[in-house]
Structure 1
Amino acid sequence: MATPLTQPEGQSGRLAAGLPAPRSRGFRRLLAAGLIGSSIEWYDFFLYGTAAALVFPHVFFPHSSALTGTLLALSTFWAGFVARPIGGVLAGHLGDRYGRKPVVVGCLALMGAATFLIGCLPSAGAVGALAPTLLVVLRFVQGLATGGQWGGIVLLLTESAGPKRRGFAGTFGQTSVPVAVIISNLVFMAASGLMSDHSFLAWGWRIPFLFSAVIFSVVLYIQARVEDTPEFRELRRTAGRPERAVVRAPLAQVIRSRWGTVLLGCGLLSATNSLFYVSISGLLSYATDSLGVKRDPLLAIVLLSSVAMLVTIPWSGHISDRVGRRPLILIGGLGVAVWAFPYFWLVGTASLPLIFVAVVVGFVFQCLTYGPIASFLGELFAPGIRYSGASMAYQLSAVVVSGGTPFLMTALIAGTGSTMPVAAYILLMGLITFASAWFLPETNPAEVRSDPQMIPGTQLYG
């Protein structure tokens, strides 16, 4: 195991190590760039989920029954999640060897191109089976980009902050999720509200996808104005030759030495990922098709509920800098488990105010886990394998839990006529998150919170 690399946190120590002062203009610019870039990336990814529930069954699977068309559309939604671990592995390898910034830039550009091209696709009525085939291919590309960008964004943020601010800094990447949900729903509602249903299904749904072209301006900004993380630059500088400090095969190192940590890290995300995708995708399909709730009020509920996430995610990250990461994740996982059955009882009333309560309370519990996870996952791995380890844990949960949840929800309700099996599934996911946090070590212990000289997770190879 390599000698630990320590970095003093005082102002003079930070400058000596090449680290920016946490309140400097450059650091604030980095936080803003991370939030904006990640928000647009997630906007592109979530937009697909909304369209898969409300539009794609009619556009790409017009000859299927309502249920079959929805299941087929949600299966294409899943394709993006299947691709995310692959993107995470590729980006993790490149990011651990060559830096966080170039990988982030490449992933953002790839996502913008894929989403824009989805907006240009012909319908199944025009080209037949080629249309859904191309849709799946582009969704897969979206998944590759998303799988790579998350680790890069959160490491750009957390590795540029001190140990007392990593939890809060990481939430600028996490807060991009509700920002993206709000933007995607606003754009989708505006496009559908300004035209008839026929026009919207014919061509109006394309507008939100074409709008994603704005991501290229963010790509140019990050490329020109944002530096790679001080911690990665220090890692490369530590040895006389960079190849001595940088792990040649970071993925192999993670699998060989930290596989158990990866699996527990994957489990950390079970509660937040399952309930989140039920709320932003599965709920839209179930409530419109089975409960007769109108589309636009449901989109408004998801939008308004996401405002609670804008507050809860940064707050939870900030609190994790003071009390540790694990307590919040334990509370959030247990909260999701307890709320699972009340959530579906409230949704089953088809009452818009009660559906709002179900979603917003669920969002608050899941945010208690999601806020600290950006810093927590990174701190579990040494810098030389951090991109690979954190990305693998995060993206494994994406393919195992996130992508399949809307499909599983629709299939379970169709097969049983009840939401109770789905509630039991959410309960299980909450308990998995609780158990995973229970068995993982605290990465922001009291001695680090009180002594800024001590920085967790700073061994070169783990």
Structure 2
Amino acid sequence: MPRTAGISREHRRVVLAAMVGTTIEWFDFFIYAICAGLVFATQYFAVLGKDALILSFATVGISFFFRPIGAVIAGHLGDRLGRRAMLILTLLLMGISTVLIGLVPNTASIGAWAPIILVLLRVVQGLSAGGEWGGAALLAVEHAPAERRGLYGAFPQIGVPIGLLLANGVLALVTAVTTPEQFLAWGWRIPFLLSVVLIVAGLMIRSRVAESPVFEEVREKKARSSMPLVQLFRHHWKLVVAGALLFAANNAVGYMTTGGYVQSYATKSLHLDRSTVLIAVMISAVAWLVSTLAGGWLADRVGRVRTYQIGFVLQLVWMFPFFALVNTGSVGMLVLALVLFSVGLGLTYGPQSALYAEMYPTTVRYSGAAISYAIGAVLGGAFAPTIAEALQTSTGTVYAVGGYLAVMTVIGLVTSFFVKDRKGASLSSALADAPAATVENV
């Protein structure tokens, strides 16, 4: 396990704020994704018959198209006003929309308005998620010592597996204490409503964190860009493309569990107990957390790009054995498959904050990191569960899903060879006008 000795009190406060905030954001985001497979198909889209599940998963993906919009807005304001203000705003947006989802009546009560309201609230979640990650990642990395940016940057990353762990844990608990009928009627709403408590806690922590010292330097020198988005795409568009493709390869694979596909496949096709499947995913979330921290730690030793490449190779090698073990219908094999699946996933996720932060100059860093992340999420995770469900349905085999994920992984692996590692490079505003230099010429 990576050691965190030597981290100052201020550093601990920063990484805690980044981690707790992303945990809450993704808890909110994931309970929707999981319920899309377990609940929403029957409660909100049943009128569509056999296509209800596919459309339910599609609503998970719809919000991804609004992530770039959230990234543009938060990126612009984050590069102009600071990282801290955006972290508070995005947390509020996610929390309010999540609580309201828990209050939306189903189709039987208000007809067509039910799925419409559900989708609109999911859009707000997408706007929030698009702006959240960039601020949390940059706050952690820009506060970090140069030699430990990978590890510090991994802390907002582990908010995702922790959020997945909490989302599956709360749903597993609710499932265990309710009958199937009660769960579908009202039990699934409890995790959404509990988000109120988490949001209050997150706001208290984030409000006490100091602004990024790198951004403060830019503000003091009055070096902020008036149009960071224009500057980003004029001078650094290759970086945006490379960052998006790297994340797309990780995100497509990750959304097999975070998007609810594995949970749905294991319960509906393999007829495994819902609570058991959720617990299996929780165990894999712990493995993902550990491998993500390990990815950040390793990135400080061998470099960000090399860590990505190791992770993508492991991801690719395990792709088809993963589905073979899942198909055995054994709970033990499901757990083993998911845990080993999480190793490559973590190694291609842990270094991301440091890599993105070192890619861009300070004046466009929030915009660049957030937009790369958001576009990668659209290309990779947006419709990964929907594509997986459609491939499985049309071909009759889950191995078609493995083929799709293998292709996405190869795209990420190939992209990594065109990305220059800038481990330990200065994050100072002195780089404000530096040309894009982290994508090698093809």
- Length-normalised TM-score, structure 1: 0.90
Cα displacement string for residues 168-216 of structure 1 (whole angstroms, at most 9, x for unaligned residues): 1111100111111111111101111111111111111110000111233
Aligned mates of 1:220, 1:288 — CA distance in 2: 36
Name 2:232's counterpart in structure 1: 254
Runs of 4+ in structure 1 deviating by more than 3 angstroms, as ranges, are none
- 1:166 deviates by 0.9
- 1:22 deviates by 7.1
Name 1:3's counterpart in structure 2: none
Aligned mates of 2:203, 2:377 — CA distance in 1: 28
Aligned mates of 1:237, 1:364 — CA distance in 2: 42
Cα displacement string for residues 56-108 of structure 1 (whole angstroms, at most 9, x for unaligned residues): 1111123332x311111111111221111111111101101110000110000
Aligned mates of 2:11, 2:316 — CA distance in 1: 37
Name 2:9's counterpart in structure 1: 25
Which shifted more, 383-392 or 215-224?
215-224
Name 1:231's counterpart in structure 2: 214
Name 2:103's counterpart in structure 1: 120
- 1:310 deviates by 2.0
Name 1:388's counterpart in structure 2: 367
Show the 5 A alignment for 1:187-206: 187-206=170-189
Q: CA, structure 1 residues 357+224, in 2 after alignment: closer, same or farther (shift >3 Å)?
A: closer
Is contact 1:380–1:457 with CA below 8 Å preserved after alignment?
no
- 1:457 deviates by 6.9
Which shifted more, 208-217 or 106-115?
208-217
- The share of aligned pairs that are identical, in percent, is 39
**Which among 341, 347, 354 is matched to residue 320 of structure 2?**
341
Is contact 2:249–2:380 with CA below 8 Å preserved after alignment?
no
Pairing 1:288–2:272 present: no
- Length-normalised TM-score, structure 2: 0.94
Q: Unmatched 5+ residue regions in structure 1?
A: 1-20, 449-453
Pairing 1:439–2:410 present: no
Aligned mates of 2:364, 2:80 — CA distance in 1: 9
SS of the residue aligned with 2:48?
coil
Name 2:254's counterpart in structure 1: 276
Name 1:16's counterpart in structure 2: none
Pairing 1:184–2:167 present: yes
Name 1:10's counterpart in structure 2: none
- 1:218 deviates by 3.4
Show the 5 A alignment for 1:30-45: 30-45=14-29
Q: Supply the AA of the counterpart residue of 2:97.
A: A
Name 2:426's counterpart in structure 1: 455
Aligned mates of 1:427, 1:397 — CA distance in 2: 16
Show the 5 A alignment for 1:83-232: 83-222=66-205, 224-232=207-215
Name 2:438's counterpart in structure 1: none
Name 1:51's counterpart in structure 2: 35
Pairing 1:401–2:380 present: yes
Is contact 1:109–1:219 with CA below 8 Å preserved after alignment?
no
Name 1:326's counterpart in structure 2: 305
Aligned mates of 1:117, 1:228 — CA distance in 2: 31
Name 2:439's counterpart in structure 1: none
**Aligned pairs, number:** 428
Q: Supply the AA of the counterpart residue of 1:442.
A: D
SS of the residue aligned with 2:183?
helix
Pairing 1:62–2:40 present: no
SS of the residue aligned with 2:349?
helix
Which shifted more, 398-407 or 221-230?
221-230
Is contact 2:24–2:202 with CA below 8 Å preserved after alignment?
no
Q: Supply the AA of the counterpart residue of 1:206.
A: R
